[in-house]
Amino acid sequence: MMIPGMADAHLHLYAYCQNLTFVDLSKVHNINEMINLMKEKIKNVKKGNWVKGVNFDQSKWKENRFPTLEEMDSISKDNPIIIKRCCLHAVVANSKALEMASIGKNYQAGSGGIVELDKDGMPNGILREQSTKVFDDILPDPLKDIEVQKRIMQNVLNDMSSKGITTIHTYAAKIWQYNEDINIYKNFEKEGKLPLRVTVCIDELFEPEILTKEKLNNPYRKVQLGAYKIFSDGSMGSRSAALKEPYSDDPENSGFMLFTQEELNNKILIGYEHGLQPAIHAIGDRALDMTLSAIEYTLKITKEKGMTDEEQKKRLPFRIIHVQMIDDDLLERMKKLPLVLDIQPVFLCTDLHWIEDRIGKERLKGSFALKTMEKAGLIQTGGSDCPVETYEPLKGIYAAVTRQDMEGYPIEGFLPEERLSVYEALCMYTKNVHYATGQESVLGTLEIGKFADLTVLEKNLFKIDKKEIKDVKVEQTYVAGNCVFMIK
């Protein structure tokens, strides 16, 4: 079966490549396993050097909690150690790492961050959101060596091509030192080694002027700059996503916003006035509420300053990333705005196991409400947020149409009324992604006159059992008519 080349609308390629050099904790089942894996790594590390673990998810551990400071110290007291949660929004450190970062008694976290303290004012090793940046500022970048960087990134790009991906939108996150230098990809292209299209999106910590130096919307460029990302809240897994009401399993906590409404308004307005496409991370319903208010404010103010309705219609849509919780009011407001929703259906495979505990039964109906948003006429793109989840688009399509994890649980699907059709899910990973960048006239569908970005699958997705979709093999991948992958 031939389909349009598949795309990932939201991932962090540089971060994923960094993670390949760290201790992978994604398969760990309990805290002791984590400790043993980290100890094994330390055997080959000099005393005093940093050791980092990544991809842990405490909700999958027997203990269902973060490690204590004492448990982290049991790994080593001589080496600074941190482990980063799979969502990238939380870190747990040992005492040596806290010392290296100058985090001590009664430490005051900066704006947009949390450093947890015990009853005596001592840090317990858990840091969330922008507070995690203290470690990223002092940890050496494992990809600093250019040859190492090129080798790892080339392998990952080639693997993406083998999964049928022809376009990625890779997001910088300077808060975590994921700088996504566009020149890396341009050099790959010059050398004839770039097997897919790359749109590099910056975050709000960069100067917006960077994006005005190049024409944004040029589909004839294989490498280009894209959206301007703004974080508004945290993640559901670390209980830092901003909710209207407290977490059901943490009644004193409603998550938190990184900015006030006024600050968020100004950040989105400034980007929009610079001619950029704001892309706002919003997971919780409170974050979505404030994000919509900021977009409404931006459209109102720019109109008052003289921008016509026609000029606003010509602009690329605002992008909202994640959108994991909605209600009727939020849905109605979204319908009235020029939006694209960058969704990660594959998140379902992990979150369905604990999301009801987090937000309770009443709010559950607005969780990953893909069909509801589809019926409302909202444009949804598909992505992975890799390294949070796998970048294999067929696994994302599987999640959207079955609403089951990779083992087929639950049998009836999580909120089965929110399942998408195969066609709707396929559109998320093809035509809708290119609509988000204004390139739908040349990419995203199989039509005469469009670029020949194609994926050839071994089976017809419309004729097989939906549960088989995640295991379908990619046979060939083409970009601009050139074969960049062929199965052996």
DSSP string spanning 81-106? Answer: EEEEETTSSEEEE-HHHHHHTT--TT
Q: Which residues contact 91 (CB under 8 A, 6 or more apart)?
A: 82, 83, 84, 85, 126, 127, 128, 132, 135
Q: Quick one: average pLDDT of 283-293?
A: 99
- Confidence at residue 133, expressed as pLDDT on a 0 to 100 scale: 82
Q: With a cut of 60, say whether residue 176 has pLDDT above it.
A: no
Share of the chain above pLDDT 70, in %: 95
* pTM, 2 dp: 0.90
- Indicate where the chain has its CATH 3.10.310.70 domain(s): 22-136
Share of the chain above pLDDT 90, in %: 85
- Confidence at residue 216, expressed as pLDDT on a 0 to 100 scale: 55
What is residue 251's DSSP assignment? Answer: T
Q: At 321, is the pLDDT very low, low, confident or very high (cuts 50, 70, 90)? A: very high
* 112-134 residue pLDDT tens: 788 999 999 999 999 998 788 88
Nearest to 220 by CA among 193, 189, 191: 189
- Confidence at residue 202, expressed as pLDDT on a 0 to 100 scale: 85
- Confidence at residue 354, expressed as pLDDT on a 0 to 100 scale: 95
Q: What CATH superfamily classification does 2-14+148-485 receive?
A: Metal-dependent hydrolases (3.20.20.140)
* 239-250 residue pLDDT tens: 999 999 999 999
22-136: CATH, from 3.30.70.380, 3.40.50.620, 3.40.50.970, 3.10.310.70: 3.10.310.70
Average pLDDT, the chain: 94
The b-or-e profile of 347-356 (16+ CB within 10 A means b, else e) is bbbbbbbbbb
Look at 68-77, 209-218, 221-230 and tell me which has the smallest mean pLDDT. 209-218
User: Which of helix, strand or coil describes residue 280?
Assistant: strand
Q: Quick one: average pLDDT of 275-303?
A: 98
Question: What is the arrangement of strands in the sheet containing 90-93, beginning at the earlier edge strand?
Answer: 23-24, 51-56, 81-85, 90-93, 123-129, 113-117
- Confidence at residue 131, expressed as pLDDT on a 0 to 100 scale: 86
Q: At 308, is the pLDDT very low, low, confident or very high (cuts 50, 70, 90)? A: very high
Q: Is 249 exposed, middle or buried (0-12, 13-18, 19+ CB in 10 A)?
A: middle
Q: At 266, is the pLDDT very low, low, confident or very high (cuts 50, 70, 90)? A: very high
- Indicate where the chain has its CATH 3.20.20.140 domain(s): 2-14+148-485
Q: With a cut of 70, say whether residue 212 has pLDDT above it.
A: no
Q: Quick one: average pLDDT of 427-450?
A: 97
Look up residue 21 and give its two tokens.
């050099």
Q: How many CB atoms lie within 10 A of CB 376?
A: 13
The Cα–Cα gap between 296 and 440 comes to 25
